[in-house]
């Protein structure tokens, strides 16, 4: 007797099995095969649940988490992506701390880049007592603000190594967690990978000896700045 696998029962439940094959599978179920009946019933229930939840929109935070778990199918990544020159418009480390404000309040680094008609907002938050950090950002088109900015591939690279990758949401927002290592570059691939924005990320070092919200300089430099960085 020929039995059927789970993949075939999934197709059967979704009603996409070719007609002839489907009727043979139906006949097989009618013979009382318990194993296949269980698989068919399970797939039937699963298909129903999927149909019922399909119209519901998952919360943005859940989608972001799911994207972080599963590998992303990137649009074809062109190796010849033309790099768009990016200009640093704002750097939170270069702005003087207002008088009276505790230097240690500045945790993380914020920057704004302009590249062509795009603006790239970035914030890096180091994880305390760890070399990990999170980058939170948004890509937008400041010339034509209504430009669709969803599903833009963004990755972090350390040399040739891709450290993290994600896709922007429908607001052009993205978030990645990563291990700070070497010189990390953030790359944004525009127009299906034809053009690319590439900017360096600061490496933030959380001070193990200072208070919880205190950042300190990496080993080599003696400069005293709040929220310190290495290029």
Which of 10, 13, 36, 163 binds Zn ion (CB under 5 A)? It is 36
> Which residue is listed with tokens 């699963």?
46
Asked whether the beta carbons of 157 and 199 are under 8 A apart, the reply is: no
- Least distance from Zn ion to the Cβ atom of residue 28, Å: 6
Q: Is 46 in the site for Zn ion (CB under 5 A)?
A: no
Q: Please tell me the count of residues contacting Zn ion according to CB under 5 A.
A: 3
How far apart are the C-alpha atoms of 41 and 47, rounded to whole Å? 10
CA angle 107, 225, 95 (to 5 degrees): 75
- Decide whether 36 or 206 has the Cβ nearer to Zn ion: 36
- Decide whether 4 or 229 has the Cβ nearer to Zn ion: 4
- Decide whether 36 or 81 has the Cβ nearer to Zn ion: 36
| Segment lying near Zn ion (by CB under 5 A), choices 18-26, 32-40, 84-92, 114-122 | 32-40
- Least distance from Zn ion to the Cβ atom of residue 55, Å: 34
Q: Is 112 in the site for Zn ion (CB under 5 A)?
A: no
Asked whether the beta carbons of 114 and 89 are under 8 A apart, the reply is: yes
E strand segments, the chain: 82-84, 86-91, 109-115, 118-126, 132-141, 153-158, 161-167, 173-179, 184-190, 195-200, 203-206, 215-216, 229-230
Strand pairing of 153-158 and 184-190?
Answer: antiparallel
Q: Is 3 in the site for Zn ion (CB under 5 A)?
A: yes
| Segment lying near Zn ion (by CB under 5 A), choices 31-39, 54-62, 73-81, 94-102 | 31-39
Q: Is 33 in the site for Zn ion (CB under 5 A)?
A: yes
- Contacts with Zn ion, residue ranges (CB under 5 A): 3, 33, 36
């Amino acid at each position: 007797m020929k039995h059927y696998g789970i993949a075939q029962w999934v197709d059967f439940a979704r009603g996409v099995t070719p007609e002839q094959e489907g009727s043979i599978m139906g006949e097989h179920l009618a013979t009382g095969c318990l194993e296949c009946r269980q698989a068919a019933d399970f797939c039937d229930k699963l298909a129903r649940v999927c149909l019922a939840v399909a119209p519901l929109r998952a919360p943005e935070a859940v989608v972001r988490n799911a994207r972080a778990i599963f590998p992303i199918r990137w649009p074809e990544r062109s190796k010849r992506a033309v790099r768009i020159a990016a200009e640093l418009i704002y750097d939170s480390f270069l702005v003087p701390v207002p008088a009276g404000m505790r230097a240690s309040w500045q945790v993380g680094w914020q920057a704004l880049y302009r590249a062509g008609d795009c603006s790239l907002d970035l914030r890096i938050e180091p994880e305390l007592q760890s070399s990990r950090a999170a980058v939170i950002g948004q890509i937008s088109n400041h010339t034509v603000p209504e430009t669709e900015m969803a599903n833009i591939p963004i990755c972090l690279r350390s040399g040739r190594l891709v450290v993290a990758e994600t896709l922007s949401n429908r607001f052009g927002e993205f978030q990645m967690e990563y291990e700070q290592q070497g010189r990390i570059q953030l790359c944004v691939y525009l127009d299906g990978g034809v053009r690319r924005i590439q900017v360096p990320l600061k490496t933030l070092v959380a001070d193990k000896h200072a208070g919880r919200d205190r950042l300190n300089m990496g080993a080599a430099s003696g400069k005293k700045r709040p929220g310190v960085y290495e290029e």
